Amino acid sequence: MGPALSNPNIRVLIVTGDDDLKEVARRYVAQGLNRYHDEVFSAVDEARRWIESKLFPLSAQDQA
């Protein structure tokens, strides 16, 4: 709880190619119990693109 208040920019990214684990992760995220922003991805490169779009939103638009 402390880090979420002192640094609201923390993100939790869950990356898995396993469909069963993705479902478990999505259920976890849907509960809303984590104070951090959560996302579920199938691949690391997909998660990296998401991070880059949040850190550098104008750069991501330029690449589209």
pLDDT 10s digits, 5-51 = 777 778 889 999 999 999 999 998 888 887 777 899 999 999 999 98
The owner of tokens 């992760």 is 25
Q: What is d(CA 2, CA 40) in angstroms, rounded to the nearest whole number?
A: 23
Asked if 40 and 29 count as a contact pair (C-beta separation under 8 A), the reply is yes
| Whole-number pLDDT of residue 1 | 57
pLDDT confidence of residue 8? 72
Q: Which residues pair with 12 in a beta bridge?
A: 38
What distance in Å separates the CA atoms of residue 48 and residue 45, rounded to the nearest whole number?
5
In this prediction the pTM is 0.68
Give residue 62's pLDDT: 58
